[in-house]
Amino acid sequence: MKKKTKNVSKFVQIFDPKMWFHDFVKFTGFLPVLIDLRLKRVYLNKKPKGLFKGKYLISANHASFIDPIIIMNAFWTRRVCFVATKQFFVKKFWKVVFKGFGCIEIDKDAPTLQTFKGVGEKLARGHLVSVFPEGHVTNDTEIHALKSGIVMMAIMNDAPILPIYIGKREKRIRRQVVIIGDKINPKDYIAGPMATMDEINNLSNLLKEKEEELKSKFENEYKEKKR
């Protein structure tokens, strides 16, 4: 099930010409966003090894359309590419914008090989890939059922998954809090050379449990508190 993609040179990873639009938007908008969010990273246990280097996927809850901006701010030293639903690629203008920003198109009801290939290419170029496994923006703080796509992406690219929880900021004067969990390495939960559907489903359930744990930490320690 693993799909190997050839890594590019360190030079390309640092100065990726395919991500010039991403870099332009990021650096021109970084300071205003930094001032507005005043983001606070909180670790479930301790800071995960290789947080700002190495290959992994980010799994996050999705309660707001500004979640990608928050994630980019939380991992500001890395380029973060997002897996986005195909509805954002329908109109030509937005397709150019999203593609230029490094987004990877996905049909959430029937993911194609092209999507998995796109994820592998971004990881091989030294970038992070962020997925919202709930599949849509939710209007509440609950962790809904997670789709197994991110697990399959991680397995195919031999990449760990980093679960994070984006806390809801009740007021603009408060700091934005992001709870960061421990990396989950899929190969630690797969017995044979090929993952079975049961193993994939178990990993999806484990990821949901980890997201729930991050949510609990936020609600117990940071919700309704000044920060």
Residue 4 has pLDDT above 70, yes or no: no
In a domain? residue 217 = yes
How many structural domains comprise the chain? 1
In a domain? residue 190 = yes
Cβ contact 163:184 at 8 Å: yes
Residue 215 has pLDDT above 90, yes or no: yes
42-92: pLDDT as tens digits: 999 888 888 888 899 999 998 888 899 999 999 998 999 999 998 889 899
Residue 118's H or E segment, with its range, is helix 113-124
Cβ contact 39:71 at 8 Å: no
The letter for the amino acid at 170 is: E
Cβ contact 161:183 at 8 Å: yes
Residue 155's H or E segment, with its range, is helix 149-156
Cβ contact 102:127 at 8 Å: yes
In a domain? residue 227 = no
- The domain that holds 121 is classified in CATH as 3.40.1130
Residue 146, pLDDT score: 63
In a domain? residue 70 = yes
In a domain? residue 195 = yes
Exposure of 64 in the CB half-sphere (CA atoms within 13 A): 14
Instruction: Find the range with the poorest average confidence among 80-84, 99-103, 133-137, 159-163.
Output: 133-137
Q: Residue 175 sits in which domain range?
A: 12-221
Residue 6 has pLDDT above 80, yes or no: no
Residue 206 has pLDDT above 90, yes or no: yes
Residue 49, pLDDT score: 84
In a domain? residue 1 = no
Average pLDDT, the chain: 87
How far from 106 is each of 6, 34, 117, 124, 163, CA to CA, in Å?
A: 22, 30, 11, 19, 20
Residue 27, pLDDT score: 87
In a domain? residue 142 = yes
In a domain? residue 189 = yes
